[in-house]
Each structure stands twice: as structure tokens, then as C-alpha cells.
Amino acid sequence: MVGNCRAALIGSVLLVQGGFAAQAADIAVEVSGGAVLTATDADALRRPASLTKLMTAFVAFEAMQAGEIDPDTPVTVSKFAADRPPVKLRLRAGSEIAFAEVLGAAVVGSKNDAAVVVAEAVSDSETGFVRRMNAAAARLGMTNTRFANATGLPAAGQQTTARDMALLSRALLLQFPERAGLLSRRSVTALGRRVPTTNPLFGRVEGAQGLKTGFTCAAGYSIAALVEREGRRVIAVTLGHRRKADRLRAARGLIDAAFQLPATARVLAAAPPVKGTPPDIGACSGAPAALMATDISPEEKALYAAELAKARSRVNWQTARPEIGTAAPPVVRRTIRAPAPVAPPPPPPLSGWGVFLGAHPTPAAAQSHLKAAHRKLGLRGTIRTERRQRDGRVLALIYGLDQSTASALCKATARYCLTISPARLLNKRAQWRR
């Protein structure tokens, strides 16, 4: 009955998206009582991405409740934490920040460097913190969830399900009713700056109360949402969408259906272990136009168009030939001398899609990493290094690629790899350069 009703309400939204079978897995449950309202593939394995930070918050709340750490305690930023890939608060190694501030930045703003600072403050190392995360998951009945870090950044073995994320979300709300208010904040302040939420439901969905979003190319777009209407609170989890717009439509449909459905006799509980590995959703593949429509701001589009026009004009000027009939320049006889050394031609201007291979301590280390990746690409694209002003580290980049080639390289490498869109490649203030 629930399945038929749900299909009538939102089947066209969740079961088919843009002509392909939906990758999503979802569930909606009552906070009070834990009744399951609707579920589709709730035990299908998916990658958690930044929904991982819900467990980071859970373990941090446990530590504060046990008196292990105080919200006002100043904590020191390690070099390891400061070097985490974006999205970042841009914390500097050796600096100090209040534990409450850095926790807020990790949970509300989804900042990866902040999440690792939280982990190291509670457990001295991210590795030790991850052990606590997995122990907590076992206690909560999250039988199909494994965490490998405190951020949700890509790592081997990380997996979860919609059911497990609903169990975690409900535990946060019921075990830490006061501290869980952090998950409903639209912004926090850290380092004197406003850090906004990543949650797209505020202002778009009636009664939206927060929780957490997640995204990586392999995980797709996901969300664990808390919505309250007429005193009734519902948790809605949907995982594994290819586009932000798909996630928003699916979340809206799931939430609307949940509030129209009566509570059932099924209560949210642990599921049997599931074998297999999470699929690669491929949220960074597809038509460039579609990505530009969802992931690139109008300002970045304008910057890209202007820089591309400049690059083309430079190329046209350099390759222009004299028109027929133009008088030849006068011949000047000079003494023959040894030819002066010829400077290597300048690299082509930044264009196309890029692959960012991280920040390295020396130019030699960056070049070594770049050359290995360049060989994998069959010497396609152009190698480039930049020195980061903030800390002097050397950024490694390959550009001039098409989108599919850039995505394929990042999927094939075991090291850190980030696909860069044309607009972000040309944006001098882009986060990958910071």
C-alpha cells in the first residue's frame, strides 16, 4: 500500500530522471517513534561523501557530553588538517581556533580542514577518531556503513545506506537534542567570517530544519533532511543523484509524500549486512553545458568567456600571415654570428578542462607527479605548475583536456585528483588555488 501510494505521488520524479534509471536510494521516517513512512532501495550501498560529517558531529557531541573537551577549548591546527583538499575554511597550520567554531564550520559549512581539526582535537589523530566513528556506527545498528576519514573525501572502503543515515540522523536528534541545534543553523561564524550552510532546502521546502548535504563525483549529490510541519518531524534521506537539481526534486517529492502518508507498523531498525561495493554515480560526467548550468556561477561564466576571447586573439595574432601583395621588408646584411639560444615557446593559455593533482612541497615533486599522470594520458594536455602564495607549495595541473579525459584520469588514479571545469580553471580566486 505504501509503495503504491508513493508511486502515485512521486514515482515520475524518483524512478526516472532525464531518461535514465534513477541511481538514488531513499527513506523517510518519523523522528518520534521511528516509523518508516516510505523507502526505496534503502539498503543499497552508496558512498557517504560529506554526510560522513554527521558522524563526525555525533562523536564530537559524545566527547563534549563526556567532558573530554569543552566548546571553548582552543585547538591547534595541524599541517595535515590544513592541507586537506577543498572545500576548506583555509585554516593555517599552527594557528588556534575554538573547538565550537571549528565544529560549526565542519558541520554547517562542510569544511574538510575543519572536520580533521575536530577529529584530532578529540582523538589526537584522524585515524583514532575514525575508530570511534565506526564503533559508534556499530552501536547505532549502522550495519552497512564504514567510515575511512572524518570528512567524506574519497577513500577506499567508505560506504553507507539511506537506512543507516536515517538511523544516525535520528540518533543525533534524540540523544543530543540541544547540541543537534547546530545541524539546523543557516550559518555559523568561524575566524570572524560568516560560514553559510550548504543545505539547499532552506527557503525552498516548507518546514526545512537542516541536517546535512554530501557530494563527490563518485557519490553523487545526497542529503539527509529534517523537516517539521504542524509539530510533526520527519527525516528524509536520498542518496546518489547525478545533479543538484535531481537531488532537490527527489528531496521535495520524498518529503511531500512522507507527510501525506500515515505512519506504518514498520519501525526503523538495523538491516542485515549487504555484500558488494557502492556504484560510481559519475556526477562529474555528462554534457559540459549541463555542468555549467548547475555548478558554475554567472560570474565564473563571464570570466571564462572573457579569458577565452583573449586567448584566442593572442593565438590569431601569433599565427597571422602577411596578406598577398604586401611589400617585403628591406634586407639588412649583417655579420654572421653564432645563433643566439632560442627561448622555449610559452605554454598555451589556460583553456579546456583541467586535472589538479594537489599541492607538493617542491617543484621536482610536482613535476614527477605530473609526468607520471601525463604518460597515463598519452601525453595529452599541457603540464603546468604554480607556486601557492599562502604557503609556497607547488600546485600541479594538467589542462587543455576534454571533460571525459579529465574525469577518466581522476577515476583511474589512486592519489588525490580533482577535475577542474573551464571556468574554475581560469578563476584566479578559485578554491583549488588557495
Q: pLDDT exceeding 70 applies to what percent of the chain?
A: 79
Catalytic residue among 53, 88, 111, 212: 53
pLDDT of 52 > 80? The answer is: yes
Mean pLDDT, the chain, integer: 82
pLDDT given for residue 403 in this prediction: 84
Q: How far apart are CA 9 and CA 138, in angstroms?
A: 34
What mean pLDDT is predicted for residues 351-359? 86
Query: Which listed residue (12, 88, 95, 110) is catalytic?
Result: 110
110 is annotated as an active-site residue:
yes
Ranking 112-121, 269-278, 366-375 by mean pLDDT, the lowest is: 366-375
Q: What share of the chain is helix, strand, coil (3-state, %, to 5)?
A: 40, 20, 40
Is 297 one of the catalytic residues? no
The CATH fold assigned to 2-260 is: Beta-lactamase (3.40.710)
Which of the residue ranges 266-280, 307-321, 383-397 would you say has the lowest mean pLDDT?
307-321
User: What single letter denotes the amino acid at residue 53?
Assistant: K
What digits encode the pLDDT tens for the residues 298-339?
A: 433 444 444 445 444 444 433 343 444 444 445 444 444 555
Query: Strand order in 220-229's β-sheet?
Result: 36-40, 25-30, 232-241, 220-229, 208-216
Q: Is the pLDDT of residue 423 over 90?
A: no
> Considering 50, 78, 222, 421, which one is annotated as catalytic?
50
Q: Which of these CATH numbers, 1.10.10, 3.30.70, 3.40.1350, 3.40.50, describes 288-311+349-433?
A: 3.30.70
- Higher pLDDT among residues 408 and 216, named by residue: 216
* 4 pLDDT more than 50: no
- Going by their DSSP bridges, the two strands 382-387 and 418-420 should be labelled as unpaired
Q: Given this model, what pLDDT does residue 228 score?
A: 95
- What was the pLDDT predicted at 292? 31
pLDDT for the residue 361: 86
User: Each residue of 225-259: pLDDT tens digit?
Assistant: 999 998 899 999 999 999 999 999 999 999 999 99
As a whole number, mean pLDDT of residues 149-178 equals 96
- DSSP, residue by residue, 298-350: HHHHHHHHHHHHHHHHHHHHHH--PPTTPPPPPP------PPPPPPPPPPPPS
pLDDT band for 343, please (50, 70, 90 cuts).
low
- Residue 164's SS3 state is helix
pTM for the structure as a whole: 0.65
Task: Say which residues have a Cβ less than 8 Å from residue 107's Cβ, sequence separation at least 6.
Answer: 53, 54, 56, 57, 182, 183, 212
Let me know if 79 is a catalytic residue: no
The residue type found at 272 is P
Q: What is the mean pLDDT of residues 114-139?
A: 96
Domains of the chain: which residue ranges?
A: 2-260, 288-311+349-433
